[in-house]
Amino acid sequence: MSARTIPTIVLGGTGYVAGELLRLIAGHPNLKLAAVMSDSQPGEAMGKAFPHLAAVLGDTTFKSQAEIEALLRTEKVPAILAAAPHGVSAALIDGLLKVAESAGNAPRVVDISADFRHADPAVYESIYKHAHGAPARLPQFTCAVPEHLKTLTTPHVAHPGCFATTTLLATVPLIALGIAEPALFVSAVTGSTGSGRKPTEGTHHPTRHSDLYAYNVLAHRHTQEVVACTAAASGTVPQLAFVPHSGPFARGIHATVQGVLKKKLDSKTIIGLLREFYAHSPFVRVLDSAPRVKDIAASNYAHLSAVSDGRTVAVMSVADNLNKGAAGGAVQWMNRLQGLPETAGLTAPAAGWT
């Protein structure tokens, strides 16, 4: 492992995903925390927002946007991990890149918001109901799951959403390998942390505890992400019917992707094809039995399995929404952008019994 130290800025500092980024950076052999931006809590101790990280954060405080800009003018910071909200991230990143570029620096950015996931600003506007904050920057970003793109041709990356990441791990091989017809049905359940830190009716514990319910049925905003990323990775535009559910747990996503087989294949054969497809993907394991959320929660690993009845196929995919589906996937991309081993700082196993 290279001993090179890479100063790293984190944006959107008080949210769950930012907290996960800080946890991963604390254990990373190369990424070193340079500053964390929070417009809502500048000057506040980060350990107050994230008590579970207080031992590693010490007396470090959140910085304002002006302080981040000053840092970029005076120091070379090669890495920016952005966990700012949708609709805020694009303009913020654009402004910070302009400051860095004016100082002769060229940081690499991984954005975890939705702001750079769609190449066409009109598509973004149709989904999120507001104009894009930095349309001129869109050609500089690629949106993909790391396992599905061998060569990156842009300086920056937009990480797909957590539902999208978990689902794409199943849809891409089904279509790319010609296993299933390109009309897929997805039923997926997410933990409450996927809705962010601010309590809402859908995440408030008394409402969500011991309950399971669907929402945004056939209208979830990640649907178009999955379609676009599957098409880019497989060469075929699929039809996708997506039904998301809120689950009574904090971390993890379980997605079941069903389709009609192009030819008769048994479960063992399909599992073998999936294993071959992900043979060089250290964070994806293909199992003989149904995957479980507890076996991947709080890790950057994803587990898949498949069942066939000879006519239809069901691929089960589980991943952690805060880690593999957000912060971990972003660090995985940053490792590649910085020329580091893709696994750097990400190999810790799941916590178990969460």
User: What confidence tier does 109 reach under pLDDT thresholds 50, 70, 90?
Assistant: very high
* CATH 3.40.50.720 residue spans of the chain: 6-143
State mean pLDDT over 237-253.
96
For the segment 170-197, what is each residue's pLDDT rounded down to a tens digit?
Answer: 999 999 999 999 999 999 999 988 766 6
Superfamily of domain 162-320: Dihydrodipicolinate Reductase; domain 2 (3.30.360.10)
pLDDT of residue 248: 92
Q: Tell how strand 312-319 and strand 302-308 pair up.
A: antiparallel
Confidence of residue 2 (pLDDT cuts 50, 70, 90): low
- 3 state DSSP class of 338: coil
Q: Which residues neighbour 185 within 8 Å (Cβ) at sequence distance 6 or greater? A: 240, 241, 243, 257, 258, 259
What Rg, from alpha-carbon coordinates, does the chain have? 20
Of 162, 169, 175, 227, catalytic? 162
Beta strand pairing status for 141-143 and 156-158? Answer: parallel
Beta bridge partners of 260: 312
Contacts of 274 (CB under 8 A, 6+ apart): 173, 286, 304, 306, 315
Q: What is the DSSP string of 223-245?
A: HHHHHHHHHHHHSS--EEEEEEE
**Where, residue-wise, is CATH 3.30.360.10 in the chain?**
162-320
Element (DSSP H or E) covering residue 194: none
**229 is an active site residue:** no
In the chain, the amino acid numbered 198 is: K
DSSP letter string over 252-308? -EEEEEEEEBSS---HHHHHHHHHHHTTT-TTEEE-SS---GGGTTTSS-EEEEEEE
Confidence category of residue 291, pLDDT binned at 50, 70, 90? very high
Stretch 207-223: mean pLDDT: 93
Among 79-83, 114-118, 194-198, 232-236, the range scoring the smallest mean pLDDT is 194-198
Could you tell me the pLDDT band of residue 201, with boundaries at 50, 70 and 90?
A: confident
- What is the rounded average pLDDT of the residues 152-176? 98
C-alpha torsion angle, residues 198, 201, 202, 205 (rounded to 10): 80
Q: For the domain 6-143, what is the CATH superfamily, name and number?
A: NAD(P)-binding Rossmann-like Domain (3.40.50.720)
Q: 219-239, pLDDT tens digit by residue?
A: 999 999 999 999 999 999 999
Please give the backbone phi and psi of residue 180, each rounded to the nearest 5 degrees, phi first: -125, 155
Three-state secondary structure call for residue 24? helix
Query: What whole-number percentage of the chain has pLDDT above 70?
Result: 98
In the chain, % of residues over pLDDT 90: 92
What pTM did the predictor assign? 0.96
Res 295: pLDDT = 98
Predicted confidence (pLDDT) at residue 1 exceeds the cutoff of 60: no
Whether residue 199 has pLDDT greater than 80: no
